[in-house]
Structure 1
Amino acid sequence: MLLKNGKVLQINKDGIVFNHIDIRIDGQIIHETGSMLIPHENEEYIDLCGDIVLPGMVNSHYHSYTNVIRGTSWGEPLEIWSSDTVNLGGILSGEDMELSVALGICEMLRSGVTACVDHLPHLKTAHNAAEIYSKSGFRAGLAPMLHNIRDCDFLHGMKNESSEQETKKYFPSIEEYMSFYDDFIRHFHSPEGTLQVILGVNSPQRADAELLEASSYMSDKYGLSVHCHLLETRWQQMSSGNNSIIEKLDSFRLLKSNTSLAHCIWLNEKEMDIVAHRRSVVVSNPASNLFLGSGIFPAHEYIRRDIPIALGSDGSNCGTNHNMLEILRLFLLMQRNNQNDYRLWIDSMTAYAMVTKNGSNVLNFPVPSGFIETGYAADLAIADKNSVLGITDLSLMNELIFHTPAVKIKHVLVNGKFLMKDSKITAIDEDALRNELSERKSYLKKSINKALVKATSEKQIYRSAYEKLFQKSE
């Protein structure tokens, strides 16, 4: 396939530039780029007429199950809010999950996102999710969650009177987790294609030593990357006491160059140094962190340690969407307000890498994405040139990042195939999807209301502990 006459975002020693060049795609790979490339005999040829070609973006931390439960919360601190999302997630059937995943794929494609890391909390519907990703051709790292400790069992100030035996009934056994992963990998792990499995520890404090050891074994056995939540809130940080969560993760050989850590708001200097030494990636989720009042991600501290930063949307039920340019814009504006020295504000090349190259590193597919260069995966988002002014290269880059709503994505390719063409999604029947969702609203409404009522008493326990703890500390 030959894409002619595009205005292509590329990176050179001077930063981000837009070159009027052609792109030849051979199978899944960008085979060559250059001016005046001549179509081969019988080669598919598309004249982009000056439309803007961008590397496909990556949503590096995401929970697809939340797409059909968005709007169910006005927002509360994470530990209180979690009772709702846990109960809401538990009501979803396999069919609900398939619709939720498909909805997320459509929304990401329309904003130029070509890949995601889906941290899947519910093993019962993980296969349903994987089937939709597989059929659609959307690139994904699937990270089914591993956890066997409840928040009430480790959070400081919580009075938990349940026995270890009672706690265990909430979770699969170690053997069941490992059996699940063996089967899931056998069915869906395909790094040479568009799907691969990631080892999805929920968080170090939500897993005991036996489960973390088993997780490390599975990561080594299959060569899996690792993805987990890490120190998202002040309450979590306080609850670790003198026991460093980072050191705990590191002690089980789970902190390495193919590890990505979501949130990372409340690490201390020593812990950041360990992350830097292990060359792991941190993933900020600015919209959800603001929605839940979790804190401000200390970007400068990571940047000065050369720790790569990627970005995620997190869950749709915490005040966010899946447009990674919007997430990037929010992230940058927050960081400027958090950095008094304007000379240390994040530059455009560093910023854009957070939703492209660094996200590709999180996914860790054998063929990388994030650049429009020979040898990279043909994951591309093509924007309508008429949706931006683009008077200069600098103004075009600024428009893409800071004036995101105006940017209209026209075509999207993943792995060399069009998943959206001329603004029509080809990977999924979007009209049928939205009709099905409309028909299920009544059923979902009843289930959602029931789940929220069920969560009420548990939320009150967390709310009481939270208010006592932080009223006392403040």
Structure 2
Amino acid sequence: MRLLFRNATILSMNKTHGATPFTGDLLVEGDRISAIGTDLPLPPDTRLIDASGRLIMPGLVNAHLHSSETFFKGRYQGTPLEIWMLYSYPILMNDPISERLLYLRSLLTAMESLKAGVTTLVDDFFDPPGFEAGRLKRVYDAYDHAGIRANVSHCVIDKHVFDTMPYLREIMPADLQAEVEGPSITTADYMAYCRDIFSSQHGRAGRLGFMVSASAPQRCSVELMQACVELAQDKYVPYHTHVLETKTQAVTGPEFYGKSLIRYMHDLGLLTPNTTIAHSIWVSDDDMALMGAAGCSVAHNAVSNLKLGSGIAPVRRLLDAGVHVGLGTDGLSSNDTARIFDVMRFAALLHDIAAPDTDGWMTAAEVLRSATIEGARTAMLDEVTGSLEIGKRADLIMLDISGYDYMPMNRLDHHLVYCENGSNIRMVVVNGEITVEDGRLLTANEAEIFAELRELLPAYMSEHAELEKLNARFEPYMREMYRRATIQDIGMNRYQGDLPLWRGANH
């Protein structure tokens, strides 16, 4: 397929132009951008698109997402991470979700993402309790069908849940502890599984990849994490993990290892240019220096961090330390949408209250970089996507900039970050193929998929509701663990506000 966008406003996000727009033409041939200039000739068999009054920019990158949560959108509120996980990732589980619903859930995630202008997503997939290549293939089938670019993992945990958080073993009654089995996967098993997926799915359709994901340093053995990092480096893919999302986790490091979780990772050789850390809220100055020196990346999930009450990440200091920062939605249960435009606006506004020194506030241009080329860097795809450059894959979105959100036009990067919500998207192109045009998804029949979901989901959601009741028995003890951790003075604060850390006469 050839596409020639004529007379567009172009936001390339490359090293030359950055977030400064210019007017020109852009030619797509096959899966790549072949020319950017003015008055480009129209090759034979090329679709000419009049882009006057339109903006062409790189497709957005969602640097951290869990498709496993998509069916729980809008379900939970008022729960911190450790309590929320009790229901969204239950300790006591049913049988795995059916393969058909697994496929539809992944497809729905991709469909919503594409219509929101996300051309690349990083899916830190979780499918307890087993690791079956055939089931992960269904996720790849869905992303292939939708036409999106994706890095997919299968997140691994090999420690017992009660050994991943402080105080739980002493707080949790013995009879409840006895009900919960620990993970059965070994390092050798997970390595064999990863190599199987690398050989069968990695590189599929020219836009689907596999990455290695050990859930978090407190949830995984040293042997497993080191093997994961070694494999990620060998395959030149990310080592994707979660670190210091909550104050509980900030307490966990010193309680378990006598040091912060970042220092623990550093001492184990787990901080590398391949390492992408989701969240990174409760990091110290020492932590950030280690991360920057190692060339690590962070997936900043501004909306999810707020909804779960996790805190405000020190993004300016992470950037100043040399850490690459992309933007993620996190799962669609802890965020509730796949819209990176929402995350952009929150990220731009949230950090203005971090300090009164305006020189430290995130600029709109920096936010755009995090949503595009830096997001691609967190996925180790910055040589492939994230900017509009000749030879790169044609992953782009076209927006109408003639309406309310851009009237009057003052400064384009400000309009994109503070005004845009995705409603002005007119076209989405991934790998040279048009996936969305004029609000319509071209790669899947939305009406048919929604109809099937309406038929299949009630039974599944009813089963999950029963599972929530079963797991609710653990909540009082999880809340006590959470309370004990959060009332500790650890020498830093990532909350914002004037409420005491804990309210109530007994505390």
TM-score bracket for the superposition, by shorter chain length: over 0.9
What is the rounded CA distance, in whole Å, between the counterparts of 2:486 and 2:23 in structure 1? Answer: 56
How far does residue 211 in structure 1 lie from its aligned partner after superposition? 1.1
Amino acid at match of 2:83: I
The CA deviation at 1:56 is 0.3
- 1:153 pairs, out of 156, 163, 166, with 163
CA positional deviation for 1:357? 0.5
Task: Name the residue aligned to 1:344.
Answer: 360
Whether the 8 Å CA contact 2:279–2:301 is kept in 1: the answer is yes
What residue is the counterpart of 2:21 in the other structure? 18
Q: Tell me if 1:425 matches 2:415.
A: no
Matched, 1:188 2:201: yes
| Cα separation, 2, equivalents of 1:107 and 1:40 | 33
Is contact 1:91–1:451 with CA below 8 Å preserved after alignment?
Answer: no
> 1:170, CA displacement in angstroms?
2.5
Deviation at 1:334, TM superposition (A): 0.8
Aligned position for 1:96: 101
Q: CA deviation at 1:62?
A: 0.2
Counterpart position of 1:281: 297
Among candidates 247, 255, 258, match of residue 263 of structure 2? 247
Q: Within 5 Å, give how 1:46-445 maps onto structure 2.
A: 46-87=49-90, 91-122=96-127, 123-124=131-132, 125-159=135-169, 169-190=182-203, 193-241=206-254, 242-365=258-381, 367-388=383-404, 390=406, 394-405=410-421, 407-445=423-461
Is the deviation greater in 323-332 or in 396-405?
396-405
Moved more, 399-408 or 266-275: 399-408
Q: Is the 8 A contact 1:388 1:407 kept in 2?
A: no
Q: Distance in 2 between matches of 1:406 and 1:70?
A: 19
Check conservation: 1:199, 1:226, Cα contact below 8 A.
yes
The 2-side partners of 1:243 and 1:138 are apart by 40
| CA–CA distance in structure 2, aligned partners of residues 185 and 423 of structure 1 | 35
Distance across 2 between alignment mates of 1:191 and 1:305: 35
Tell me how far apart the structure 2 counterparts of residues 48 and 89 of structure 1 sit (CA, whole Å): 51
Normalised by the size of structure 2, how large is the TM-score? 0.87
**SS at structure 1 position matched to 2:12:** strand
Deviation at 1:465, TM superposition (A): 2.3
Unaligned runs of 5+ in 1: none
Distance 1:472 1:59, change over 3 A: closer
Tell me whether 1:31 sits opposite 2:47 in the alignment: no
- Alpha-carbon RMSD across the aligned residues, in angstroms, is 2.5
In 2, Cα distance between equivalents of 1:45 and 1:433: 32
Moved more, 15-24 or 348-357: 15-24
Query: Does structure 1 residue 5 correspond to structure 2 residue 7?
Result: yes
Identity among equivalent positions (%) equals 24
Helix, strand or coil: the match of 1:59? strand
Q: Distance in 1 between matches of 2:431 and 2:350?
A: 33
For 1:121, the aligned partner's letter is F
Residues in 1 aligned to 2:205 and 2:265: alpha-carbon distance in whole angstroms: 29
Q: Deviations for 1:361-394, whole angstroms, at most 9, x for unmatched residues? A: 1222374222222122210011123444535764
Quote how far apart the aligned CAs of 1:65 are: 1.6
**Cα distance change, pair 338–327 in 1 and its aligned pair in 2 (3 A):** same
**Matched residues in 2 for 1:283 and 1:404: separation?**
21
Q: C-alpha displacement at 1:438, in angstroms? A: 1.2
CA separation in 2, counterparts of 1:465 and 1:52? 50
Shift of 1:178: 1.7
Distance 1:233 1:366 in 2: 29
Q: Quick check: 1:387–1:407 contact (8 Å CA) kept in 2?
A: no
Distance in 2 (alpha carbons) for counterparts of 1:392 and 1:47: 22
Shift of 1:444: 2.5
Q: After alignment, is 9-18 or 80-89 more displaced?
A: 9-18
Amino acid at match of 2:183: Y
CA distance change for structure 1 residues 400 and 129 in 2, over 3 Å: closer, same or farther?
Answer: same
- C-alpha distance 89-61 of structure 1, shift in aligned 2 (>3 A): farther
Distance 1:126 1:250 in 2: 31
**1:59·1:355 contact (CA, 8 Å) conserved in 2?**
yes
Deviation by residue 1:236-261 (Cα, 9 ceiling, x = unmatched) = 11111123322332344432112211
**CA distance in structure 1 between the aligned counterparts of 2:277 and 2:12, rounded to whole angstroms:** 28
Shift of 1:15: 5.2
The CA distance in 2 between the partners of 1:389 and 1:157, in whole Å, is 50
Give the total of aligned pairs: 474
Displacement of 1:23: 0.6
SS of residue matched to 1:16: coil
For the 8 Å contact 1:149–1:167, the answer to whether it is kept is no
CA 1:224–1:18: 2 relative to 1, 3 Å: closer
Please state whether the residue corresponding to 1:373 is helix, strand or coil.
Answer: coil
Aligned mates of 1:319, 1:169 — CA distance in 2: 28
> What is the DSSP-based 3-state SS (H/G/I as helix, E as strand, rest coil) of the residue aligned with 1:61?
strand
- Determine helix, strand or coil for the equivalent of 2:231: helix
Tell me the distance in 2 between the aligned counterparts of 1:460 and 1:431: 42
Q: Which moved more, 1:313-322 or 1:59-68?
A: 313-322
User: For 1:461, which of 452, 470, 477 is the aligned residue?
Assistant: 477
Distance apart, 1:57 and its partner CA: 0.4
Residue 13 of structure 1, CA deviation? 6.0
State how far apart, in whole Å, the 2-side matches of 1:138 and 1:336 are: 33
How far 1:152 sits from its partner (Å)? 1.9
- Going from structure 1 to structure 2, the CA distance change for 1:61 and 1:447 (only over 3 Å counts) comes to same
State how far apart, in whole Å, the 2-side matches of 1:445 and 1:150 are: 26
2-structure distance, mates of 1:214, 1:387: 52
- Partners of 1:133 and 1:139 within 8 A in 2: yes
Cα distance in 2 between the residues matched to 1:325 and 1:406: 6
Q: Give the C-alpha shift of residue 18 in structure 1.
A: 2.5
| Equivalent position SS for 2:123 | strand
Instruction: Name the CA shift for 1:470/1:385 in 2 (closer, same or farther; >3 Å).
Output: closer
* SS of structure 2 residue aligned to 1:10: coil
Cα separation, 2, equivalents of 1:219 and 1:299: 26
Quick one: distance in 1 between partners of 2:94 and 2:428? 30
Q: Deviations 1:206-227 (Å, cap 9, x if unpaired)?
A: 1011212321332244333211
